[in-house]
Amino acid sequence: MASSSFTLPQLVIENITPQIDGGRHAVKRLVGDELSVGADVFMDGHGLIAVRVLYRQHGDRRWRDRAMVYDYNSDHWTGAFSLDAIGRWQFLIEAWPDRFRTWRENLGKFVAAGADVTVDVIEGALLLQEAVRRLPKDVREVVRQASRRLADETLPIPERIAIGLSDRLLQQVQGPLLAGDAARSNVFEVVADRERAGFAAWYELFPRSQGKVPGQHGTFRDTQERLRDIAELGFDVVYLPPIHPIGKVHRKGRNNSPTCEPGDVGSPWAIGSKEGGHDAIHPALGTLDDFRSLVRTAEELGMEVALDFALQCAPDHPWVAEHPEWFFIRADGSIRYAENPPKKYEDIYPLNFWCENREEMWAACRDLLLYWIEQGVRCFRVDNPHTKPLAFWEWIIREVQREFPDVLFFAEAFTRPKRMYGLAKLGFSMSYTYFTWKNAKWELVPFLTEVTSTEVAEFYRPNFFTNTPDILHEYLQQGGRTAFRVRLLLAATTSPLYGIYSGFELCENTPVRPGSEEYLNSEKYEIRVRDLSAPGNITADVSLLNRIRRTNPALQQLTNLRILHCGDENLLAYWKHAPNNDLIIVVNLDPHGAHDGVVDIPIGDLGFGEHQPYEVRDLLDDVRYTWCGSRSYVRLDPAERVGHVLSVKRPE
């Protein structure tokens, strides 16, 4: 006989999807999405079972439920529920032996076989009598009366059978009927972010470079004047590098020179001076009211301002004097500056997040976010999060989103994949990626497949920035204007999240020296006033692609990308699908030469027969083509066009 200390489950619930690391981390979705849930559920014997998904927003006491549907051959159950509010949600799978439906099905079989069902009818009455106390109050009396009539031997058997087999009674008798019937899985979580976490075009600019006079420090008001042009280009987010006072001690000169000359403005990432720290504004940019006005104007134009959250300090940051214990103290008593050999950053002190007084320091970092949230900021680009404790990010993101669930965190984590993915699991809304270094087909295909078609897409949202102030890839340096058009087309059509750093639209591509990814005269260390209408700019490409993205739902999703076979290794072809919106995209990855090839078209999925002609329209120039069959010839000469974005007209 089994010991009473053992649990004796009658049902098995396993292989629940979606989940990350056995439920340790939340999957990610957008508000308004239907979360599709699956599970394998079975039990011993031939009895029927019922399964439902229970769900609620985090903090709610009451569970809502949706019935799940059974696939007989696989013992797999599927269901879905709507994420109708921003924030963290919980769900679990509940299953139980469906005793009444099993009795009802058996009764029907016995009646069809002509068997005597007198005892079976009585057993049904007893089952309902036992179950009535666990049913909702509004159906108890109906079920109680049904139980009495089933047990009433004065009624003819056919009438009693009809009561037991009635659809109305079946609708009333739902849920676990007996004590201990219900089995539940562990609780899993899903985060429903606002739409901009999953679909947005980002534009990065330095406010100090937005003036009109070369060398003269720009302001928030200058930046505000630019917002309308940026909105007309179709961008959703304007990202500003740190806007705080810049340290004067060990300030870097132009092109990262260790010698600072008079007039050198320093790096915005060397945060803090006697003017203040992370909660202050660089005096040359303007006032807090100017910043708030900038945020409001962006909102009026349908955009938002994202701020840099860089947790590091210049040597003259107020925290250095007030809390030296928050930093790394060397054996000689000095504070350690940042290093990434052979690079040295004498103008930056990293924080020691595991210092003895870390609770106070972590709380101070959280309060910085809350301060800027009060000023209207709802999106933060986080500088080098992989160099800070994972536990810190899990804590601070939950702390902030508990009160402000609409706040987004963007990880600037150019590090090893597992660390990038780990940060995403812990709560970052999106992340930079290796996209800037993926330029050939042989490396793009596995990369795109991994981030769009594997478990990674459950928690990791890739933002395909074409360039950054730190990254000017060799492909752009050597490929000229055509290379910029290629990378723009790829970024804008493979991921629903992408961005450019100011100057990309002007095709700036001169490195500080051969073999370096640093820009010559980098804006990180000096003011750069640009002529945004300079000859050779690709602003028309930017505007057109952003307009195409907004009018084609297929480009607003991540997991709908499917690579299409094309024999030429310089042609990348892929299909993006959404209801009533199919796009076949072909890009020539070689900025120097023409290439042609035959693309395999998924005509079966598109609804075409092998010999059925169909029309495609290039959204880049409105040229129409008639194709036929599952293979189509494409030729792309970058001197004329770098790619096709073909809208497929499905059969009526």
Catalytic residue numbers?
383, 412
- The full DSSP string for 297-318 is HHHHTT-EEEEEE--EE-TTSH
Tokens of residue 648, six digits: 């497929």
Please name which of 613, 601, 592 lies closest in space to residue 644, comparing C-alpha atoms. Answer: 601
The burial of 652, by beta-carbon neighbours within 10 Å (0-12 exposed, 13-18 middle, 19 or more buried), is given as exposed
Measured distance CA(415)–CA(447) in Å, rounded: 15
Tokens of residue 135, six digits: 């049913």
Q: Which helix (H) or strand (E) holds 636?
A: strand 631-636
SS (H, E, C) 128-179: HHHHHHHCCHHHHHHHHHHHHHHHCCCCCHHHHHHHHCCHHHHHHCCCCCCC
Angle between helices 118-131 and 157-164 (to 10 degrees): 40
Please name which of 31, 150, 164 lies closest in space to residue 110, comparing C-alpha atoms. Answer: 164
Backbone φ and ψ for 295, nearest 5 degrees, come out as -65, -45
For residue 284, the 8-state DSSP code is G
Measured distance CA(632)–CA(626) in Å, rounded: 10
Q: Which helix (H) or strand (E) holds 42?
A: strand 34-43
User: Strand (E) positions, 261-414?
Assistant: 304-309, 312-313, 338-340, 343-345, 349-350, 379-383, 408-412
Count CB neighbours of 212 within 10 A. 9
Backbone φ and ψ for 67, nearest 5 degrees, come out as -65, 145
Count CB neighbours of 330 within 10 A. 10
Measured distance CA(466)–CA(192) in Å, rounded: 27
Angle between helices 390-403 and 358-374 (to 10 degrees): 40
Amino acid letter, 415: T
CB 282 within 8 A of CB 246: yes
* Three-state DSSP class for residue 343: strand
